[in-house]
Amino acid sequence: MSTSESPHDTTGAAGETFEESLLKKALGGNIPAHIGIVMDGNGRWAVSRGLKRSEGHRAGVESLKRCLPALLRLGVKFCTFYVFSTENWKRPREEVQFLMDLILEYAKEDRSEFIRQGIRVIPIGRWKEMPRQVVQALSRLSLDTAGGDKLTVLLAVNYGGRQEIIDAAKHLALSYEGRKKELLAAGEEEFRQFLYEPTAPDVDLVIRTSGEMRLSNFLLWRAAYAELVFTDVLWPDFGPADLYKSIIEYQGRERRFGDVRRE
Ligand code: FPP
């Protein structure tokens, strides 16, 4: 069920829909600079409807598309979507193949829509190890949307948080080759330059759908101080109203970053 079909989406006294009132409320608070989303529950959504798991993934792409205008309305500058993890290769071969085809289709078909909306798309992860056609389509998408300045969408494809840290550590070490003393003096600021997309800020909010409460190797470095919001909604049912609610929940949290509360 899409959010617009939600039974809660009633028109209020001021003539505004439930979704609009949530948006207004969210806009009254602090908007996270970078949101990470673990789009979980596609399989369960499909199976509960007697459909194939692949149909859940297809519906999941529609949810992602529904979220983009909502992110733009909120003024969120960066959003990372967990599309395919380094562990997802363990899935049945047909499901992996379906996901590859879906990524390829999405990267090709939505290119002009991203450009129209001013969205820059950047793949992150070991995505260059994906099948050649997927790599080509993602490279082209990234190149063609490079001018987008409203929102940056990071597509985590063949992504693993541990792998990101290992890759960054190797590149950091290589960049200091022959300068051991300087390498040993390098700290967080030097290290973060070697993360997959160094222009992206730390993650303020991680949202995971489908009731699962874990990070699953997602953005481990950048989400060090992120607020975690878990919702029971399955990803294909997730829509703008759920995104606004997650942000309102985030706004209710007190972020201390290791400090103490100061009155
Ligand atoms: C988790 O649900 C979802 C994934 C592993 C894939 C995420 C992919 C999409 C939302 C669609 C592809 C996106 C693009 C941009 C092409 P699950 O399969 O683990 O669900 P389950 O836990 O209910 O089995």
- What are the domain boundaries of the chain? 31-160+203-249
The runs of H, that is alpha helices, within the chain are 18-27, 42-47, 53-74, 93-109, 111-117, 132-144, 161-175, 180-185, 188-192, 240-251
Looking at per-residue pLDDT, the higher value among 112 and 9 belongs to 112
Answer whether 64 contacts ligand 1 (Cβ < 6 A). yes
How many angstroms separate the alpha carbon of residue 40 from the centre of ligand 1? 6
**Count of C-beta atoms within a 10 Å radius of residue 183:** 15
The predicted pLDDT at position 261 comes to: 77
Please provide the CATH number assigned to the domain covering 31-160+203-249. Answer: 3.40.1180.10
The two three-digit tokens of residue 100, written as one number: 């590859």
How many angstroms separate the alpha carbon of residue 41 from the centre of ligand 1? 7
**For 216-221, what is the mean pLDDT?**
98
Provide the percentage of residues in the chain whose pLDDT is more than 70. Answer: 94
Distance from C-alpha of 117 to C-alpha of 120, rounded to nearest angstrom: 9
How many angstroms separate the alpha carbon of residue 235 from the centre of ligand 1? 8
Answer whether 44 contacts ligand 1 (Cβ < 6 A). yes
Report in angstroms the alpha-carbon separations of 110 from 5, 61, 62, 131: 24, 11, 11, 19
Provide the percentage of residues in the chain whose pLDDT is more than 90. Answer: 90
Answer whether 153 contacts ligand 1 (Cβ < 6 A). no
> Which ligand 1 atom sits closest to the C-alpha of 212?
22
pLDDT (tens digit per residue) in 246-261: 999 999 998 788 888 7
pLDDT (tens digit per residue) in 76-95: 999 999 999 999 999 999 99
The predicted pLDDT at position 8 comes to: 52
